[in-house]
Structures are given as structure tokens and as C-alpha cells.
Structure 1
Amino acid sequence: MGNHFSKTTKNSYTCNSHVIFFSNKLITKNKMDFDEREHLGHILMREVFENNFSSHIHDIISNRDTKILDIGCGSGFWLTEMAADFPKPSYVGIDMLPVFPTSTVPSNITFQQHNLLNGLPFEDNTFDFIHMQSLFCDFTELQWETIVYKELARILKPGGWMEICDPEFEFCNGGPTANRISSAVCTYLRSRNVDPLIVQRHRSLIESIPSFSTSTVYHEKRHFPLGSYANKLGILGGYHISKSCRDILKGPIGKIVKLDVDINDELAREFDSHKTYFYVHRFYVQKKK
């Protein structure tokens, strides 16, 4: 792959989570609402796992030489919180779309717009920790297999850690409305060669990379509740997913499924009556030294 950024064949994203779940119009017309949704999603994931990361990086997180990369950083909430908790490392956030903040950014955070599929503009062995969250629908199966993990391994330092966090895009105990929306999203993603359950392949894909093949791939699976039956976390989770589903139906998914109900009210009722939830996963691994 060379000593500098990988010159992969130029690609474009087949899908993008921002566009699918919010649509371009919603992002550009109401950036504040988009940021609030991103912030709530960040908080919920942090609470589900009880931390912003699971990798074994506590011995380097207070080192000024440590470099941390967040891929698909969105509005940058994970990065800004990490920088506040651990101010010594330097942080870089990249995203396909320019949705990150442009003002009041801590001096140790840099945001850049990049498409990972075109190769990242970083030298080999640059970062001590690479974080990715909720990018399960941003790449096709083939892109995960042939580009994504190879590029992450290239820019990760020997002994550095990589962490991937993704949901299972299927409701457990889902009601009829929730299941219709989930089925429509899965149908749309598969039509674009995107596997909505790619999370089930992450371990094997990581283990297929030579620099990770002899390492232990750690895996945490957590329950993400939706609805007031699960107290505050469930209330916020249900609210977040209901609003996301409402916006999904304003984008390309709305052409697949037609609903004549108030989405927020109907999903809130279903979540409580069915005790709906889904699973989220974290995989983390150390690159061999």
C-alpha cells in the first residue's frame, strides 16, 4: 500500500447514513435539528455502553503524542467529548459530508471532509486509536471486504486499537409499523448492495486482515431499549428512533412504504406494548506490534 495514503480506485458511497436517515434537504434546511438528533444518538450510545470507548487505551489516552481518528464523525460530538475528558491527544474527525462544526472547536481537534473509499490522506501507521460508529449502511459488502478494513489497518500504528460500533438493523419485539419501516429500509439497502446486518460479519472481516489475524477481537453486545417500559434510557431511545423513522419516510424510503398514521404516536404505542428493543455491538482489536 505504500508509505502514504492508499491510492484506491476512486469510488462513491453507494449509500450514506445521513442521506438515508435524514435526507439532504433535512440536513441543509434544519441543521440545528440534525445536530440535536446526532447529539442524542451519541448520548444514547454512550449510556448503553457506559463509556465512549471500550478499547484498552487508558495507558495512552493521557499522552500528548497520541493521535485519535473518528471516521464518520458527523457533528463531532464524540470527538468534542473525548477532547474534553482527555485533552492531551490530538484528534481528527472525517466525514463524507461537511456536517461537522466550523466554530468553537477545541484546538486539538481537526475536521476534514473525505471519502474513505478514495483512500485517506494519512501516512501508514499514523493513528493510535481509530473509532467508527453507525456506518453500517455507508459501504457495500464488497467495500467492507476489499477497502474499508484494509485502509483502517494501513493507517493504524502497530499496537494501536481500532473500534467499530454498529447496530443490528432489526427490531426485536417490533410492532407492525416498526417492522414495516425496518423491512423497507432493509429492502432499500439490499437494492444498493448494502448488507443491513453487516455487523454479524465484522468479526470475520477483521480477522481476515493479516495485521489483525493473530489478535484477539473483543466483542460487546448491548441491549438498546425503546419505550417507557425501560425508564429514562428507553424513553429517550424511543423518542430518538421515532423521530428518525419519521425523517426516514421523508427520504427515499418513503417511496417504498406508505403509512397513514402519526408515526411518533404509533411507534411510541408499539414500543411500549411490545417492549421493543434492538442490539448494538462494539468490536475492538489491537493491531499486532
Structure 2
Amino acid sequence: MGNNNSYFRRKKLNKLLNKKSDNKILDFEELEEELKYYLPNSSEDVDRQHMYHFFKRYLFQGNFSSPIEESLIQGKCKVLDIGCGPGTWLLDLANKYERSYFYGLDINPVFPNEIKPGNLKFIKADMFDGLPFPDNEFDFVHQETMSFIIKADQWNFIISEMIRVTKPGGYIELLESYSTTNGIGPILDKLHKAHLSSCIQRGVEMKIIPKLDTIIKFNQNTPIVHRDEKFYILGPNGGKIGMVNQDVFLGFHNNEVAMENLSPLLGISKEEYKIMITKDLIEEIRHTKPEYLLIKFWAQKITNNNNNDNNIFLN
């Protein structure tokens, strides 16, 4: 996916961050207009997701934390990535572990259909309709950065589906970002509040993210959940990593769809929003240390009994 320029940009970023590690558009009418902001809809959005993949891989020094490396090397693994986007995570793994098999699922088909490894298959489907696979199908089921899309009352269903299609002895793994209020300036604080307001309007509750391990544990087949957290500083005061993430962050906000969605919530015009993102926010970040968090959860499925009709509510 993408053109030659995007390829070389990803190659350059990979070299920078990889010094130590080796990695139906149907129903859109039913989605609220704001959701366009959180899904890749252009080559620039796709490039941003490619960059963000390498950023996350560098922070965690790898593409996964579950103990599946040996199985991947031996070729015993069947891997599913839910909400795969342009498929960067899968392309990274499929090229490295040629004897294993990889599947990507997304409602928005921005993934490559032709130029991809033979052990990788992409499927256009809506995860909210249930995963289109039988029980106990995959050795590893993975999902990343869906916190702006999954509503508060949908997390239990999505996680239960992940566990359902995972084989006994296999693993599920989730990685999500979470913003803190530490070190932020007034402009970024306003932007955070606009995001929260947008999320609330769509039924999305960001406070659930640090508690996802509770939902995973609630399923009787995944009683033990492992957790890893990585903090980083946005902007120049966070070093090279901070600057890479600043590029991703600004790219996420500096587009027409973002302006249409967030400027009314901020009470400013599109022109004022543009100035805020491209000038005022950049200047503020130079003098502050905004702290962000990536949280990873992983758990092993221990039994075949994966019927769990209970629900969980988190305040």
C-alpha cells in the first residue's frame, strides 16, 4: 500500500527505530460521520499508521509480548490481527516468520491485496458482527489501537470473540494508547477534552482502557492477564522517539476531517484550528513534556469451555 515515497519513508523510519529489534466498506452510513477521523482514508493516513507501527515496535522492542516466538519460527502458528488497518504489523511478521500463517481483518480495506507474502491473507469484515471464524481456530489473536472505535458496551463482546476463536493454549494480546494529564500545556489540554467529548458522543469511554485486564480476566478461560506499560514524552523533550510520535500525532490532527470534527467541539473556526495545530501546539510542546502511555495486555486461553454470556460494567 502507498507509493514509492511512502515506502522510503517507512524504510528510513525502520532504520531509525530498529537498531535493536529484529518484527465491507459497507455499513459506513451506519457509522457516525466522526468515525472517519479515526479510520485511515488516504495515503497520508496509511503512512501515519505505518510510522506508528514502527514507533510501537521500538518502544516494546518487538511486535508481541506473548511467548509464541518458538512456534512462529517452527511454523506452527496461525495468527489473526483484528482491525489490521494497512496490515503493517502483519506484513512485518509474515515476512519474518515464513512458515506460519497470518490473517488480517478490517472493515476498511486499506490493506494490500496483491503485493504481500503468500502466507498472509486479508479479509474485509466487521468485527462488531462477530469474528467470521469457528471456535478454537488461531494460536494467537492480536488487536491494537482500537480505543477510539470500540464503545464501552462493546469491549466485552470483542474480547470474548477474541478468546472464542483462540485455541486452548493459545494467546490473545491487546495494545492500546492512553493519554495522561502529566506535563501537558493548556492547548493540548483543550485538544484532549475535545477528543473526550467526541468519544462520549459516540459511546466510547477512554477510562476503560487501563482496565481491559479486568474484562479479560472476567472470561473464565483467561484468568491470568499479563500487563506491560511504556511511557513516553511527546515532542522534542522526548528525544527521537518523542519527535517521531509528534509527526504521527500532528498528522493525525492536521487534516480536513479532523478540523471538521474537532473545531466545533473546541469552539473555533477551521482556520483557527489549523493555526492551533500547525503553530501554537508545536510551540507549546517545545516547552512542555506531555506524557503518554502505551498499555499491552496478554493472556493464555486455558480451556475449551469458552461459553461466557456474562457481561461486565466498569465505572
TM-score normalised according to structure 2 size: 0.80
- 2:153 is paired with a residue of what secondary structure? helix
Tell me if structure 1 keeps the 8 A contact 2:232–2:238.
no
Change (3 A) 1:18 1:61: farther
Change (3 A) 1:18 1:86: farther
Deviations 1:96-123 (CA, angstroms, capped at 9, x unpaired): 2111112211111100111111111111
In the alignment, what sits opposite 2:136? Answer: 125
In the alignment, what sits opposite 1:263? Answer: 277
Note if 1:167 corresponds to 2:193. no
Q: What is the Cα deviation at residue 202 of structure 1?
A: 0.2
Deviations 1:134-189 (CA, angstroms, capped at 9, x unpaired): 001221111112x1111111100000011100011445311122111110110111
Q: What is the Cα deviation at residue 16 of structure 1?
A: 9.4
Change (3 A) 1:17 1:56: farther
Note if 1:228 corresponds to 2:236. yes
**Match 2:247 to one of 199, 221, 239:** 239
Runs of 5+ consecutive residues of structure 1 not aligned to the other structure = 1-9
**Match 1:198 to one of 208, 217, 242:** 208
Note if 1:209 corresponds to 2:219. yes
Q: Trace 1:115-194 onto structure 2 (pairs within 5 A).
A: 115-145=126-156, 147-194=157-204
Give the aligned CA root-mean-square deviation in angstroms: 2.3
The one-letter amino acid paired with 1:229 is: N
Tell me if structure 2 keeps the 8 A contact 1:132–1:164.
yes
The one-letter amino acid paired with 2:164 is: R
Note if 1:40 corresponds to 2:32. no
- 1:142 is paired with a residue of what secondary structure? coil
- Alpha-carbon distance between aligned partners in 2 of 1:254 and 1:112, rounded to the nearest angstrom: 35
Tell me if structure 2 keeps the 8 A contact 1:13–1:139.
no
In the alignment, what sits opposite 1:253? Answer: 262
Tell me if structure 2 keeps the 8 A contact 1:224–1:237.
no
- 1:186 is paired with a residue of what secondary structure? helix
In the alignment, what sits opposite 1:275? Answer: 289
How many aligned positions are there?
A: 271
Change (3 A) 1:15 1:219: farther
- 2:70 is paired with a residue of what secondary structure? coil
TM-score normalised according to structure 1 size: 0.87
Greater CA drift, 203-212 or 193-202: 193-202
Kindly, what percent of the aligned residue pairs are identical?
Answer: 25
Q: What is the Cα deviation at residue 249 of structure 1?
A: 2.9
Note if 1:101 corresponds to 2:118. no
Runs of 5+ consecutive residues of structure 2 not aligned to the other structure = 1-26, 304-315
The one-letter amino acid paired with 2:293 is: Y
Q: What is the Cα deviation at residue 21 of structure 1?
A: 3.4
- Alpha-carbon distance between aligned partners in 2 of 1:200 and 1:74, rounded to the nearest angstrom: 23
- Alpha-carbon distance between aligned partners in 2 of 1:132 and 1:16, rounded to the nearest angstrom: 23
Change (3 A) 1:87 1:33: same
Deviations 1:58-101 (CA, angstroms, capped at 9, x unpaired): 22111333100011110011000111221111000001211111
Change (3 A) 1:209 1:15: farther
